Amino acid sequence: MRTFQLDRPQVFERFRAQSIANSCINCISKSTCLNSNLDIHHREKLTAEYTHKFKVKVGDAIFHNGDPIQSIYNISKGFLKLEFSLSNGQHQVTRFASNGDLVGLDGIADGRHHLDAYALTDGVICSVNYGRLQSLIEKDPIIQKSIERAISNELNRAQEHLFSLGSHSVEEKLAYFILELLQKEGRFKSEHNSLHLPMNRGDLKSYLGITVESLSRALTKLEGANFFRVKNREINDIDFQKLIEFLDITIEESGQAY
């Protein structure tokens, strides 16, 4: 398993080999990433000063609990899982991050990461040099605004997830999660009605705070009620409107799930 935490000299050359052309203008996640509020001039001029784009493969470690923060990471394409773990082997998936999401903010408080981040799929990640970013913040307030917004979004997402963990049934948690994936992949309110789950059921049950047995029963129950069809990691024939009515939320709220 490879790791891309750049403070480790043995992986620096490998990181350079994996680097690809840096182009924010053509990025598929430019409307939702850290730099989404920058105009074209700032996006091309500033991002080149602190961003490097590289490819990752399934299973790659982006950073580990205890690593010093060297960068924060914007996902251009693909899925990551973030885990909190203890020395006794216990661990909890705290987030699934995908296109446009920023990860690594956990290291800002004391200079060290408190989570592990792994690639669930092949993808492309923008490594944002944290030291360089700090120096640019002093010169251009628009960069500070981007960071503040990213931190606020992360806090809001965490609060929504905590609310769901404590207030929703297993079936509701699963329904919200499916709507979230649809929204993140740009399939919400579109002609597409299928999903491929990038995570296994063990990771999904950890994130939802339920058992594997409860997850299986919820999938079976929702499938039996014709919300969707399930085969392994494929979810097909998703009925968007029925999910929204089941959760008793508006279309706008369903786009903000988790």
- Domains in the chain, ordered, with CATH? 9-141 (2.60.120.10), 168-254 (1.10.10.10)
Q: Which residue has the tokens 């700032």?
A: 42
Between the alpha carbon of residue 137 and those of residues 5, 41, 110, 134, the distances in Å are 23, 17, 19, 5
The mean pLDDT value for 230-246 works out to 92
Residue 45's pLDDT is: 65
Tally DSSP H helices, then E strands, for the chain.
Answer: 9, 12
d(CA 243, CA 177): 11
Instruction: Tell me which DSSP letter residue 222 carries.
Output: H
Measured from the Cβ of residue 11, the count of other Cβ atoms closer than 10 Å reads 16
Kindly indicate the confidence band of residue 11, based on its pLDDT and cuts at 50, 70 and 90.
very low
Residue 234 or residue 43, greater confidence: 234
Q: What is the mean pLDDT of the chain?
A: 82
- For 145-152, what is the mean pLDDT? 82
pLDDT at 157: 85
How many C-beta atoms surround the C-beta of residue 167 within 10 A? 9
Q: Residue 257's pLDDT is what?
A: 45
Backbone torsions φ then ψ of 235, nearest 5 degrees: -120, 115
Residue-level pLDDT at 44: 67
- In this predicted structure, what is the pLDDT of residue 13? 41
What is the distance between the alpha carbons of residues 147 and 107, in angstroms, rounded to a whole number? 14
Higher-pLDDT residue of 10, 122: 122
Collapsing DSSP to helix, strand or coil, 235 comes out as strand
Least confident of 24-38, 52-66, 212-226: 24-38
The predicted-structure confidence for 61-115, as pLDDT tens digits, reads as follows 999 999 999 999 989 899 999 999 888 888 999 999 998 888 999 999 899 999 9
Q: Higher confidence at residue 138 or residue 109?
A: 109
For the stretch 175-218, pLDDT in tens is 999 988 888 776 544 456 889 999 999 999 999 999 999 999 99
Q: What is the pLDDT of residue 14?
A: 46
Q: Are 58 and 148 in contact (CB under 8 A)?
A: no
pLDDT of residue 3: 61
